[in-house]
């Protein structure tokens, strides 16, 4: 696969600019999700799920006897995000300890989900966005989990893009609302009208040109896994300013000390994990058009695909799953004003929690923050246990 170097990627706002602060002293740096689960005494499984359009996506499982919970990661991340902070801080382990059967999704195109049953060209393979993740990947994964576990429903936990996929699925394939008993959505992303991202105005204004340019250059993948290996051996304690700038540009972190600094080498050795250029473009399109809608191919192809010259909007009023949302006023990527637009359209919200500005809780902290157990994991675990108790009582 062709990968995008950092100099070329500056036009897409440092999407590949990740330095590596790997410390060889910590063995977790080089472990994949399966190994991370097994190392700490949990029972791991890896499952491969075939989608209807010929992609193979991976699910990692922490085997348990309780109700199944499916966790969906953010953009250019992977199942590692739910594991790398270790058993004392990572949500996947905490939910497993609470008695749940844990399933970790990996979106098509990330380092764990690059298989296919079709003979794709490189360009054909990367021709997907969060649209296909929501209409192809996630439905296939849910059906697979229900079949393996002999259950009727799952519980869903999504972070960032993991919430976007959820909204796409439930609005495009509303029958899947009936297969989810509850969804917890962390830093939800649908409308991105006020998102703060480097060069966002430039990217939105020249999106069509940039799409054509990258296509002509054969650059179909960004946030590639290999980028983190381009600058080995630069440790955060040797270059604090580099760390601060890197995480601010890529994740909106304003206070680097709010990250789990004792795990920073492990975190940085596992992100990014790969994504398609088209997925990134789809998010930028949302900012440009101020709509949560399908991919815009231009008038001609739009009409052929959608019977309209404009891409249809995702109708989130079709979401009927009971919902719990957690957002933050300091989140630049899931901006609170955009979240409010979403909330105004959802009809089944049972809980909506917002960290105020003084908490200074940024986007990446939902996965990698040092306060994640207290502010996110404990509430999520309690919500799921409460929902299970209610279902048992009825």
Catalytic residue numbers read: 160, 363
Cβ neighbours of 393 (radius 10 Å): 6
Q: What is the 3-state secondary structure (H, E, C) of 191-245?
A: CCCCCCCCCHHHHHHCHHHHHHHHHHCCCCEECCHHHHHCCCCCCCCCCHHHHHH
Q: Which long-range contacts (CB under 8 A, 24 or more apart) does 5-12 make?
A: 5/230, 6/227, 6/230, 8/217, 8/219, 9/222, 11/199, 11/203, 11/210, 11/213, 12/203, 12/210, 12/214, 12/222, 12/277, 12/280
CB 107 within 8 A of CB 57: yes
User: Contact, 296 vs 289, CB < 8 A?
Assistant: yes
Phi, psi of 192 (to 5 degrees): -130, 40
The β-bridge relationship of strands 44-50 and 55-62 is antiparallel
- Grouping H, G, I as helix, E, B as strand and the rest as coil, residue 308 is coil
Other Cβ atoms less than 10 A from the Cβ of 219: the count is 18
Q: In sequence order, what are the residues at sequence separation of 6 or more whose Cβ sits closer than 8 angstroms to the Cβ of residue 209?
A: none
* Burial annotation 15-54 (CB, 10 A radius, 16+ → b, else e): bbbbbbbbeeeeebbebbbbebbeebebebebeebebeee
Pairing verdict, β 101-105 and 55-62:
antiparallel
CA atoms within 13 A on the CB side of 236: 21
Candidates 292, 352, 354, 363; CA nearest to 322 is 352
């Amino acid at each position: 696969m062709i990968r995008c170097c950092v100099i070329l990627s500056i036009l897409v706002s440092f999407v590949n600019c990740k330095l590596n602060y790997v410390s060889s002293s910590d063995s977790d740096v080089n472990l994949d999700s399966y190994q991370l689960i097994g190392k700490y005494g949990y029972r791991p499984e890896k499952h491969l799920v075939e989608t209807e359009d010929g992609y193979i996506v991976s699910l990692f499982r922490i085997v348990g006897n309780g109700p199944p919970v499916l966790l969906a990661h953010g953009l250019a991340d992977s199942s590692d995000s739910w594991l790398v902070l270790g058993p004392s801080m990572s949500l996947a382990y905490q939910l497993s300890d609470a008695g749940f059967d844990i399933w970790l999704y990996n979106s098509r195109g990330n380092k764990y989900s690059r298989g296919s049953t079709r003979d794709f060209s490189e360009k054909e393979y990367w021709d997907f966005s969060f649209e296909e993740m929501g209409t192809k990947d996630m439905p296939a994964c849910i059906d697979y989990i229900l079949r393996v576990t002999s259950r009727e429903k799952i519980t869903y936990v999504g972070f960032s893009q993991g919430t976007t996929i959820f909204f796409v699925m439930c609005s495009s394939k509303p029958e899947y609302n009936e297969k989810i008993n509850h969804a917890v959505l962390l830093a939800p992303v649908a409308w991105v009208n006020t998102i703060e991202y480097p060069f966002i105005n430039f990217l939105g204004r020249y999106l069509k040109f940039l799409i054509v340019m990258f296509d002509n250059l054969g650059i179909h993948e960004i946030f590639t896994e290999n980028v983190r290996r381009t600058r080995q051996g630069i440790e955060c304690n040797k270059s604090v300013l580099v760390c601060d700038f890197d995480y601010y540009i890529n994740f909106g972190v304003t206070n680097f000390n709010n990250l789990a600094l004792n795990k920073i080498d492990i975190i940085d050795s596992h992100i990014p994990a790969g994504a398609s250029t088209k997925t990134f473009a789809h998010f930028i399109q949302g900012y440009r058009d101020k709509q949560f809608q399908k991919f815009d191919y231009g008038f001609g192809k739009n009409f052929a695909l959608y019977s309209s010259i404009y891409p249809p909007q995702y109708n989130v009023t079709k979401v009927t799953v009971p919902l719990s949302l957690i957002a933050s006023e300091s989140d630049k990527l899931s901006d609170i004003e955009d979240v409010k637009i979403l909330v105004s359209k959802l009809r089944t919200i049972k809980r909506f929690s917002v960290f105020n500005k003084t908490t200074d809780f940024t986007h990446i902290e939902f996965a990698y923050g040092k306060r994640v157990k207290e502010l996110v994991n404990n509430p999520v675990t309690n919500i799921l246990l409460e929902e299970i108790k209610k279902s048992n009582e009825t």
